[in-house]
Copies of this chain bind each other. A is one copy, B any other.
Amino acid sequence: MVNKTPAAKAPDATRRNERSRRAILDAALEIVGEVGFSKLTIEAIAARAGVGKQTIYRWWPSKAAVLFEACMPEGLDPLTVELPDTGDIEADLKTVLRGTVDELRNPKLEAPTRALSAETQNDPELGRQLTERILEPQLQAYVRRLRSAQEAGQIAADIDVRIAIELLVGPLFHRWHTRTLPLTHEYADTVAELALRGLSPR
């Protein structure tokens, strides 16, 4: 048996229409920015993209999956994600965390990003894919940079770098999720300073 469900014949990806694919992704991004995720419907995407509904259902399992692909950087090799390494771990982390703040505050990305973040709570499989294809490559870049800092003696050698990462980015995402206080560069700097103080050798 080839397919999990014998009735489900997989579509032939080699015959796929790239123009339609792009039109769908662009339409989804436009609409979610205009009216929000709850009013983003498959029918509206199809209408704006000038596409049949079946063309969407054929290639994506949900509107969240469409939005996910629409947010994916296209030709970007995940392995190219790299953090700066000037030798000064504090300066480098501040640079990166400030960049994260800028991305989270980017008005063009906010609607789809929040929609996807929300959707991962109720759709663990989507969350798994998002983690694997977007989050994990970035975390691996952190891992490499923090190991480098450990070898330089700037971070205690016995610290689990995965936990170190969460100490750095957790507070930023928490503030973004809860919208309690403004997410600023100053905040990123303070978090970097305090976290590094906790991570440095005694």
A residues with a Cβ closer than 8 A to B are: 36-38, 114-115, 117-122, 124, 127-128, 131, 135, 139, 159-160, 162-164, 166-167, 169-175, 177-181, 187, 190-191, 194-199, 202
Q: Contacts A179-B124, A198-B198 hold; do A190 and B169 have CB atoms under 8 A apart?
A: no
In the bound complex, how far is the Cα of B119 from the Cα of A36, in angstroms? 12
Q: How far is B37's CA from A115's CA once the two chains are assembled, in angstroms?
A: 15
Q: Which residue of B lies closest to A114 (CB)?
A: B121
- A sample of 26 cross-chain residue pairs with beta-carbon separation below 8 angstroms, ordered by A number, consists of A114-B121, A115-B121, A115-B122, A117-B118, A118-B118, A118-B120, A127-B179, A131-B179, A135-B178, A135-B180, A162-B181, A164-B194, A166-B171, A166-B174, A166-B175, A167-B170, A167-B194, A170-B173, A170-B175, A171-B171, A173-B177, A174-B174, A177-B177, A194-B198, A195-B198, A198-B198
Q: Copies of this chain, how many?
A: 2
Contacts of A119 in B (CB 8 A): 118
Contact B174 A195 (CB under 8 A): no
What is the minimal beta-carbon distance from A101 to any residue of chain B, in angstroms?
Answer: 14
Contact (Cβ within 8 A) B174 A169: yes
A114 CA / B117 CA spacing, docked (Å): 11
A194 to B164 Cα, complex, angstroms:
9
Measured in the bound complex, the distance between the Cα atoms of B169 and A191 in whole Å is 13
Q: Out of B36, B115, B139, B167, name the residue touching A171 (CB < 8 Å).
A: B167
Q: Which residues of the partner chain B approach A195 to less than 8 Å between Cβ atoms?
A: 167, 194-195, 198
Q: Which residues of B contact A177 (CB under 8 A)?
A: 117, 120-121, 173, 177
Picked from B114, B124, B167, B175, the residue with its CB within 8 Å of the CB of A122 is: B114
